[in-house]
Structure 1
Amino acid sequence: MSTCHAFKSNDEALTMQRSNAWQPSATMDVLRQRAALLAAIREFFAARDVLEVDTPLLGQFAVTDVHLDNLRTQISGAAQPYFLQTSPEYAMKRLLSAGSGSIYQLGKVFRDDELSSRHNPEFTMLEWYRLDFTAAQLMQEINELMQYVSDAPAAVSISYQQLFIDQLGVDPLADDAVGQLRDALSSYSSLADLVHREDDRDLLLDLAMATVIEPQLNPKQPTFVTHYPVSQAALAQVNPEDPRTALRFELFYGGLELANGYQELTDAGEQQLRFERDNQRRNSSGKLKAVPDVRLLAALEQGLPDCSGVALGVDRLLMVLLNQSEIEKVLPFAIDRA
């Protein structure tokens, strides 16, 4: 009798789940504010004469970045798989090489990653490229966008190196950075066993950034972290003032990483070498190698104009603006309701 009752309870719970699954993840008020944010973004770029473009969601090439994985699908009659794009970057750079001028895109992208309160496999990205902009000029424009769509205070900037020195007492660019990182992170009980088995500097840096440093950033102060190690900037120019670093930056606000930007690499040969290094790292980490996008390389050979570009997570920005801690609360339908 008790067993039957248990089955009945489970059936009722399943019925309840199914009955609610048709409903939106976000409230109608949030969806109106979402629409207002998208409209404001378009107004911002229209006033600056930046062209909106719309590139394919499906492509024949996956990214080589060791930190990203594409969702893939098979099209009837096609010999090769197609990949849902993690970013419109490669297609947008092909447009830039074809003479588009400064451009932006506001649309969906996809990443095969673990579900979390801040990640949905399908999400909305704002990506834009400004011709003849330095990374510093692009950061200023991001700052202006943030103030246009919200009451965010002006952003501050700090170098990646200085941030690690200030918050962890480690110089991430030093020759003995691995030893410094192991010593510093071993004081955290949850990390001690892991760090002593790891000798990859970039993995240790990523671990330190995600678990120790990011949580210490002031959530009420937009903060640009600049000049990442060159090994962590596959699509950025090397910093001519310090070749250990690249002209890459990230924006943090509200406890979230919101944007990732570069002063873009334009050298096709160097890009090819970086694709190969990415694949070596993918192989070492047990991931499948990715065929480099030969059409991007051809576009770079044709000539990518000097530019800087950035990708900004719109859903995460809305989370910050509306003080929401879960990404599903700002999406019309999160993945479990798709």
Structure 2
Amino acid sequence: MKSSGNESPTLWPPSASLENLRARANLLRRIREFFAEREVLEVETPLLSRHATVDRHIESFRCNDGRWLQTSPEFAMKRLLCAGSGPIWQLCKVFRHEESGRWHNPEFSLLEWYRPGYDHHRLMDEMEALLQACGVAMPQVCLRLSYREAFQGYAGLDPWIATLAELRSGLEQRGHSLPRNLEPAELEDRDFWLDLWMSLVVGPQLGQDQPCFLYDFPASQAALARVRGEVAERFEVFWRGVELANGFHELADAGEQQRRFEADQAWRRDRARAVPDYDAQLIAALRQGLPDCAGVALGVDRLLMLLLEAPALAAVLAFDDARA
């Protein structure tokens, strides 16, 4: 058989050990048992779509035929909720155009579920139960902090009143190098600086002993969550300084969701980013009615990596991006 010339004698083996692959299978079994016991319906939705996320912080893979690989099953699952599915969950592969690294792989496994009748606080309760079922040791209930409390406790500033000058100078005083070639719009973007503080200062300190839940983000960071006054009804889960999950008390207002999509498109257009069509099917479904619900997405590969104390995601993937 003629060689293609692309073989590598060092890259053909799996990136994960067989022991870790068995641990992965055991984790997936525990997840399925968890939702089966609660009679939550497992669903499958397309990985290929004619629409893509317009999230400002996520880049999608586009196929040659113009369709997109999905970064999350969220939009399709919400369409199922609008059709009367009741509580649903899904474990699937998703794709995000980002560099490979210790905590990132362009293709990864995402667990996502939705609970009609829940708000974000009740869903945090269930997330805590899931983590316990997956083997996360919890000697006591998980710490829960508001976004504001976390910044005050771990960064020594109030994210609601700190000035842009204070946010910029504070990072430099802590010895953090600021990104180069910042655009004028980024220099004046409050959320850009708060995100830097979260990734460089606050986040790495969260959940060192056991998972920590961070809730009630600034309204400007609502994404697909409801807004209550000056806060967005969303939460994130951190364990050992790593973000594991992101959840929302889901926005059900079709008009508001469309406005947010269009604002994100304008933001991307102003910065010469790819501007996909937003998911008009989701807007149509929301106009029919999304039940009051909360939803959350959990990075399964990161969870397994932390459970096994593995050095990198590659150690829990059969074949990481370099070997795919």
**1:149 corresponds to 2:134:** yes
TM-score (norm 2): 0.93
How far has the Cα of 1:286 moved from its partner?
2.9
Aligned to 2:319: 333
Q: Aligned in 2, Cα 1:321/1:193: closer, same or farther, shift over 3 Å?
A: closer
Deviates more, 1:177-186 or 1:275-284: 177-186
User: 1:202–1:232: 8 Å Cα contact kept in structure 2?
Assistant: yes
**Partner residue of 2:145?**
158
1:296 to 250, 273, 282: 282
State the Cα deviation string for residues 101-141 of structure 1 (Å, max 9, x = none).
00000010000012111100000000000010011100000
Kindly report the root-mean-square deviation, in angstroms, between the aligned alpha carbons of the 2 structures: 1.8
In structure 2, the residue matched to 1:204 is 193
Match of 1:316 in 2: 302
C-alpha distance in structure 1 between counterparts of 2:281 and 2:223, whole Å: 17
1:163 is matched by which residue type in structure 2? A
Larger Rg: 1
Contact 2:72–2:94 (CA under 8 A) maintained in structure 1: yes
Q: Map Cα deviations across residues 270-307 of structure 1 (whole Å, 9 max, x no partner).
A: 00110111112212333122211100000000101110
Distance 1:72 1:324, change over 3 A: same
Taking the aligned partners of 2:85 and 2:183, their CA distance within structure 1 comes to 49
Going by fraction, where is helix more abundant, 1 or 2?
1
Partner of 1:78: none
Task: Tell me the residue number matched to 1:11.
Answer: none
- Structure 1 CA distance, aligned partners of 2:72 and 2:152? 32
Tell me the percent identity: 49
Distance of aligned partners of 1:158 and 1:282 in 2 relative to their CA distance in 1, 3 Å threshold? same
Instruction: Check the 8 A contact 2:40/2:88 in 1, yes or no.
Output: yes
Q: Provide the rounded CA distance (Å) in 2 between the counterparts of 1:196 and 1:25.
A: 38
Query: How do 1:166-177 residues align onto structure 2 when only pairs under 5 Å count?
Result: 166-174=153-161, 176-177=162-163
Aligned match of 1:215 in 195, 198, 204?
204
Higher deviation after alignment, 59-68 or 186-195: 186-195
1:163-196: CA deviation from partner (whole Å, max 9, x where unpaired)? 111222222122x532331232231333358699
- Structure 1 spans left out of the alignment, 5+ residues: 1-13, 76-80
Q: Secondary structure in 2 aligned to 1:152? A: coil
Paired AA for residue 94 in structure 2? V
Residue by residue, what CA displacement relative to the aligned partner does 1:191-234 show, whole Å, maximum 9, x if unpaired? 35869972210110111110111122242220011011111122
